[in-house]
Amino acid sequence: MFRDRLCRRRRLIPASADRFAAARMAVGNTFGIEYCVANEPRRPRGSHTIGRLVGVAMADTRSATINNPLKKLYIETVGCQMNMLDSELVVAALRKRGYTLVNTPRDADAILFNTCSVRQHAEDKIYSALGRLKHAKTHHPHKVIGVLGCMAQNHQKQIFERAPFVDLVVGPGQLHQVPDLIEQVAKDRQPRLEVSLDRKAGTRNQVASSFESYDPLRDPEMRPTPYQAFVRIMIGCDKFCTYCIVPKVRGPEQSRSPEQILAEARQLAAEGCREITLLGQTVNSYRHRDGERTTRFSDLLAMLHDVEGIDRIKFVTNYPKDMTQDVLEAVRDLPKICRYLHVPAQSGSNRILERMKRLYTVEEYREMMARIRETVPDCAVTSDFIVGFCGETEEDFEQTVRLVEECRFKNSFIFKYSPREGTKGYELYTDDVPEEVKKRRNNDLLAIQNRISEEDNQPFIGREVEILIEGPSKRAAKQQSPQPAPVSPVADSSLPIVGQASTGQDNGACGSDCGCDDTGHDHEHGQLIQLTGRTMCDRIAVFDGNPRLIGQIMPVRIYDANAFTLFGVVVTQHAGPEVYSLSLS
């Protein structure tokens, strides 16, 4: 029998700040499965389906809180930034129980899938991945296999029915229980089902209390980069768009207290983080009430802006109707806030927006865009669109095209409609747009958006922009040495770094093509590699530089651009009778 319990809120005890050796995160797509991203390079089919949080097993167990031999963990993550953050926190908790990360399920004692239910294809991929583990479980019954996140909350016992060898099914509101559940399964080999209440199974407060925000003390070594981090400011959603499963699987909208968020931001800053991205299903809907005191989203931005050490603040995803003037003025007036807003429109047709229950009209969206352009003229805006929603005609689609051409988004995430059981759209409407029509509209809208993106990137040629350098580009990562030599303790802990080789310089100043401002060091340089980072308006830039630049904010002069990328050179300082800038060309 399943140990089936609907969870109420419990007090979280912060984990210790123990550290293990480094782990790396290689993420696939950000917003979900089977989508086309305008202003992002097209990937080969099937290459962007599942992100992995992977690492290598280490021999050092000094920080383990148990005396058992080091255990091995494999985890795959599908879906949005919220899922990536959840995986980071789950893995950090398991590392404190003595687990290390491995690259394949074959080597793991515990195999976890953190899942997404936004699209059918995302769920199909997980069931396929589970199917491939059936024989492994038969031959290695000690392995613990778990399904976490939105699909777990959505499908619950159905997962055990389709994959009876699964041991754990754990919803987003119960992720803090994962370490204990794995230990329990390892002892008695009984499956565990831990999920939150259905939205109709109790009062709002009862349901909300069963969805617990999982935000323990952070482990800096588990982030994809030590210089950037996600910070959850709210969970759940109350919008109930007819196509969307999120209100069902993530629960009611709840905002974290500003004190908790500020404490987390200060901790991240103390660990060397320079950029935080605030996460919420509708992040600009944030509103926290404590007695008579109400903290609006713009108030929270002002508080975070004062955190010393944090240089950049982003936030996703915004809801159009909640894009209030005070939020726009905060983006305008607070220098650390990135001039970047992701505000999904979903359709340019009022008829389709009404069917989607988006609660705004195209005219209201245009009015919001006009306020953005007037208040923050240099702000980049991105959007989401669903093509082929139930009943969408050619005229509806053409209205969407006109909206894209008028608003000139920096890029758009374009989805083909996928009916989701459990949504109002699934109950009310027939999925009557043929698949070939969905594909055509998807490709047509993608081409229009890519043309706009390339046109709007051209004015950056010749400009100098500030780039937060995130790490090697994808091209450089493929070319890196299989055994990278450490460059700096921080960078080496989270990012792949190429090996170093002598260039013939002996304790002298760096060459002008290095980008390093150290004129008296005695290190040996490797070849320059292609680095990547983003501007304050979230445009991707690539340029050659020394790996020591990773984590710094550097001026880069742009010399070329396409729809997806800005190409530049680092602007360095040359030491002479007077300090002056050199642009490398």
506-523: per-residue pLDDT in tens?
A: 333 343 344 444 433 333
- Phi then psi for residue 432, to 5 deg, are -105, 5
Element spanning 24, H or E: strand 24-26
The reply to whether 386 and 273 lie within a common domain is: no
Residue with tokens 């690539």: 542
CA–CA dist 458, 440 (Å, integer): 28
Residue 505 lies in a domain: yes
| 3 state SS of 160 | helix
Q: Would you state the pLDDT for residue 139? A: 92
The reply to whether 354 and 452 lie within a common domain is: yes
Mean pLDDT of 78-106: 92
Tens digit of each residue's pLDDT (9 = 90 or more) over 247-273: 999 999 999 999 999 999 999 999 999
Strand partners, 147: 113, 169
CA–CA dist 552, 533 (Å, integer): 10
Report DSSP letters for 449-502, one per residue.
HHHHHHHHHGGGTT-EEEEEEEEE-HHHHHHS-SSPPPS-HHHHHHS-------
Residue 441 lies in a domain: yes
CA dihedral sign of residues 351, 353, 358, 359: negative
Mean pLDDT of 106-120: 93
CA–CA dist 352, 339 (Å, integer): 30
CA–CA dist 483, 499 (Å, integer): 7
Neighbours of 354 (CB within 10 A): 14
Q: Which long-range contacts (CB under 8 A, 24 or more apart) does 330-335 make?
A: 330/298, 330/301, 330/302, 331/301, 331/375, 331/376, 331/379, 332/375, 332/376, 334/301, 334/302, 334/305, 335/305
Cβ-based burial of 580 (10 A; exposed 0-12, middle 13-18, buried ≥19)? exposed
Residue 524 lies in a domain: yes
Residue 40 clears pLDDT 50, i.e. is over it: no
Cβ-based burial of 477 (10 A; exposed 0-12, middle 13-18, buried ≥19)? middle
Lowest mean pLDDT among 39-48, 343-352, 400-409: 39-48
Element spanning 92, H or E: helix 81-95
Report DSSP letters for 93-123, one per residue.
HHHTTTEEE-SSGGG-SEEEEEE--SSHHHH
When pLDDT is cut at 50, 70 and 90, the band that residue 490 belongs to is very low
88-98 as b/e, with b when 16 or more CB fall inside 10 Å? Answer: bbbbbbbbbbb
Residue 135 lies in a domain: yes
Looking up residue 426, the CATH number of its domain turns out to be: 3.30.750.200
The reply to whether 44 and 150 lie within a common domain is: yes
Residue 214 lies in a domain: no
Q: Would you state the pLDDT for residue 208? A: 84
The reply to whether 192 and 83 lie within a common domain is: yes
When pLDDT is cut at 50, 70 and 90, the band that residue 577 belongs to is low
Contact by Cβ (8 Å): 22, 494? yes
Mean pLDDT of 469-495: 56
Residue 27 clears pLDDT 70, i.e. is over it: no
Q: Would you state the pLDDT for residue 221? A: 78
- Phi then psi for residue 150, to 5 deg, are -65, -40
102 or 66: which leads in pLDDT = 102
The reply to whether 194 and 260 lie within a common domain is: no
CA–CA dist 33, 40 (Å, integer): 15
Q: Where is the domain boundary, 456, 476, 499?
A: 456
Q: Would you state the pLDDT for residue 150? A: 95
The reply to whether 70 and 129 lie within a common domain is: yes
* Single-letter code of the amino acid located at 431: D
Tokens of 232: 């959850």
Contact by Cβ (8 Å): 460, 565? no
Looking up residue 26, the CATH number of its domain turns out to be: 3.40.50.12160
How many domains does one find in the chain?
Answer: 4
| 3 state SS of 443 | helix
Distances (CA, A) of 531 to 434, 448, 509: 43, 29, 22
The reply to whether 187 and 275 lie within a common domain is: no
Contact by Cβ (8 Å): 66, 102? no
The DSSP 8-state label assigned to residue 169 in this structure reads E
Tens digit of each residue's pLDDT (9 = 90 or more) over 288-340: 999 999 999 999 999 999 999 999 999 999 999 999 999 999 999 999 999 99
The reply to whether 365 and 419 lie within a common domain is: yes
Element spanning 573, H or E: strand 566-574
Residue 218 lies in a domain: no
Tens digit of each residue's pLDDT (9 = 90 or more) over 520-549: 333 344 578 999 999 999 999 999 999 999
Tens digit of each residue's pLDDT (9 = 90 or more) over 177-213: 999 999 999 999 999 999 998 988 888 888 888 888 7
The reply to whether 319 and 468 lie within a common domain is: no
The reply to whether 186 and 98 lie within a common domain is: yes
The reply to whether 334 and 353 lie within a common domain is: no
Tokens of 412: 């758009």
CA–CA dist 134, 228 (Å, integer): 37
Looking up residue 280, the CATH number of its domain turns out to be: 3.30.750.210
Residue 215 lies in a domain: no
Owning domain of residue 67: 3-209
Mean pLDDT of 459-485: 82
Q: Where is the domain boundary, 338, 369, 387?
A: 338
Tens digit of each residue's pLDDT (9 = 90 or more) over 228-238: 999 999 999 99
Contacts of 110 (CB under 8 A, 6+ apart): 71, 72, 73, 74, 94, 99, 143, 144, 145, 146, 182
Tens digit of each residue's pLDDT (9 = 90 or more) over 362-398: 999 999 999 999 999 999 999 999 999 999 999 999 9
Tokens of 374: 């007037």
The reply to whether 486 and 574 lie within a common domain is: yes
Mean pLDDT of 553-577: 88
Q: Where is the domain boundary, 338, 367, 384?
A: 338
CA–CA dist 568, 526 (Å, integer): 20
Percent of the chain with pLDDT over 90: 69
Peptide bond into 294 cis (omega under 30): no
Residue 56 clears pLDDT 50, i.e. is over it: no
Q: What is the mean pLDDT of the chain?
A: 82
Residue 570 lies in a domain: yes
